[in-house]
Amino acid sequence: MAKTKTVYFCTECGYESSGWLGKCPGCQNWNTFVEEKIKSESKSSGGNSFGFQGVHVQTKAKTLKDITSESSERETTGIGELDRVLGGGIVKGSLILAAGDPGIGKSTMMLMLSGNIAKNRNVLYVSGEESSQQIKMRAERLNVDAEKLYIYSETLISNIESEIERIKPDYIVIDSVQTVYDDEIASAPGSVSQVREITSRLMRIAKGMNVPVFIIGHVTKDGGIAGPRVLEHMVDTVLYFEGERHQAYRILRCVKNRFGSTNEIGVFEMREEGLIEVINPSAAMLEGRPEDVAGTAVVCTLEGTRPMLLEVQALVSNSTLANPRRMATGIDYNRISLLVAVLEKRAGYKMCDCDAYVNVIGGMRIYEPAADAAVAAAIMSSYRNVVFPQDTVVFGEIGLTGEVRSVSQAEKRVREAFRMGFKKCVVPKGNAEAIKKALSEENLKNIRFISSVNEII
């Protein structure tokens, strides 16, 4: 009988210690060690019917020219926005982790993906959270009907491996990795040792059988992926769903991708029939925009290669508090505080006795500093109760001295604004040379170049 022993794991980096430590020597984080009881012998140490798990074969080093590269051909998922985020499609043998808040659409996306692929390939959908009947009900609601889609409700990894060997699927979906467990490990499902072992075995299946494996991961209350941080290091791609569960729009963002860029995003709308692709996010985000109202401005942000128009709203009102409130939704709070301080110091706006609220419409979130000029325009418009021109797009980064600095790919942003029917653009003066080379003389007449925050309004 195998002996059990107690070890301590760091939940951030997976560092293992025989005793509890206040500070992790690996990642230098405090109070991250948890206690786990494991057995000294495990199934994973003896190999299995796949022939590649737990078996070490000695190889020899080769020169770079002697190594034959694998085919870079990708297979489409049937969902254009997902293909964009993955870098053009699915790479064979890849291990892909999809994470997000509860109810945001992870299982819905994976079931729709499985239905598309199962029209031509065998797909095994393993669920440890729902019964086969529940998945059938959701599949009917999503109009998923594929003869080659196998549903398997199981949580024991050895049974899952046996079913994989029997079916020999072309694609595998695991929902979720925190519910699957190995009975040779004494800890509970979802613990550090369980997640690490299960992910390792799924990775060996993906690489050994050259089969793409999608795994769904839960998140903690802080928004991070539950389990050890080593989980994100082991997989090839990490997809993250963003957005409020009560909002219609969902953003699929890639935070790690060994086979493509991590700058692309996919935009979806949650409806009764499932996640629907938003082909033109700019039009969707600007739908229902108020007219002739102070405190609103439009910015063109850039996510990877995709320019996208977003509406930024601000409300500035007199405060009765000793410390005026600053609130931000969809943009960094500290960035709002910085811009308010710049407007007060450099532009003469008395904001010390005013509350300031900033919101990005549609549940979107802006990360790049190119939105500074639009946020400042919305704040100044609300402060002075002056309507910012409805047919104008503004973007640019604002420095602490009040200057408006250039941004990347300004010409692409301007083209998107004109394509969506906007007549004018307010852009940084530093981008003038690149824009003049890319645009015609007629369009240049509708562009205003600014160098300081005072020139915005």
Residue with more model confidence, 260 or 387: 387
- For residue 349, what pLDDT band results from cuts at 50, 70 and 90? very high
For 28-32, 148-152, 306-310, which range has the lowest pLDDT when averaged over its residues?
28-32
Indicate the residue type of 110: M
Q: Distance between CA 26 and CA 263 in Å, rounded? A: 29
Q: So what's the pLDDT on residue 377?
A: 96
Overall average pLDDT of the 213-222 stretch: 85
For 12-21, 174-183, 229-238, 266-275, which range has the lowest pLDDT when averaged over its residues?
12-21
Overall average pLDDT of the 236-247 stretch: 84
Residue 197's contacts (CB-CB under 8 Å, 6 or more residues apart) are 42, 44, 182, 185
Task: Report the percentage of the chain scoring pLDDT > 90.
Answer: 59
For 70-79, 100-109, 162-171, 322-331, which range has the lowest pLDDT when averaged over its residues?
70-79
- For residue 40, what pLDDT band results from cuts at 50, 70 and 90? low
Question: Is pLDDT of 57 > 60?
Answer: no
Per-residue CA distances from 447 to 259, 373, 444 (Å): 38, 15, 5
Q: Distance between CA 31 and CA 11 in Å, rounded? A: 9
Indicate the residue type of 176: S
Q: So what's the pLDDT on residue 48?
A: 52
Residue with more model confidence, 193 or 446: 446
Overall average pLDDT of the 358-376 stretch: 92
Q: So what's the pLDDT on residue 45?
A: 43
Question: Is pLDDT of 44 > 70?
Answer: no
Overall average pLDDT of the 34-51 stretch: 55
The torsion angle over the Cα atoms of residues 430, 431, 432 and 435, rounded to 10 degrees, is 170
Residue 186: Cβ-neighbour burial (10 angstroms; 0-12, 13-18, 19+):
middle
Peptide bond into 132 cis (omega under 30): no
Q: Where are the beta strands (DSSP E) in 278-366?
A: 296-303, 306-318, 326-329, 354-360
Q: Distance between CA 42 and CA 72 in Å, rounded? A: 36
- For residue 65, what pLDDT band results from cuts at 50, 70 and 90? confident
- For 145, the token pair is 């009907």
Q: So what's the pLDDT on residue 52?
A: 44
Residue range 128-163, pLDDT digits in tens = 999 999 999 999 999 998 889 999 999 999 999 999
Q: So what's the pLDDT on residue 36?
A: 73
For 138-152, 260-274, 425-439, which range has the lowest pLDDT when averaged over its residues?
260-274
Overall average pLDDT of the 279-307 stretch: 90
- For 137, the token pair is 């009900």
Q: So what's the pLDDT on residue 1?
A: 47
Q: Distance between CA 173 and CA 166 in Å, rounded? A: 16
Q: Distance between CA 446 and CA 337 in Å, rounded? A: 32
Q: So what's the pLDDT on residue 64?
A: 83
Q: ∠ CA(385), CA(388), CA(390), 5° rounding?
A: 135
For 128-137, 223-232, 406-415, which range has the lowest pLDDT when averaged over its residues?
223-232
- Cβ contact 228:8 at 8 Å: no
Q: Distance between CA 427 and CA 430 in Å, rounded? A: 9
Q: So what's the pLDDT on residue 72?
A: 60
- For residue 71, what pLDDT band results from cuts at 50, 70 and 90? low
Question: Is pLDDT of 232 > 50?
Answer: yes
- For residue 429, what pLDDT band results from cuts at 50, 70 and 90? very high
Indicate the residue type of 49: S
For residue 389, what is the DSSP state? P
Q: Where are the beta strands (DSSP E) in 18-105?
A: 33-39, 95-99
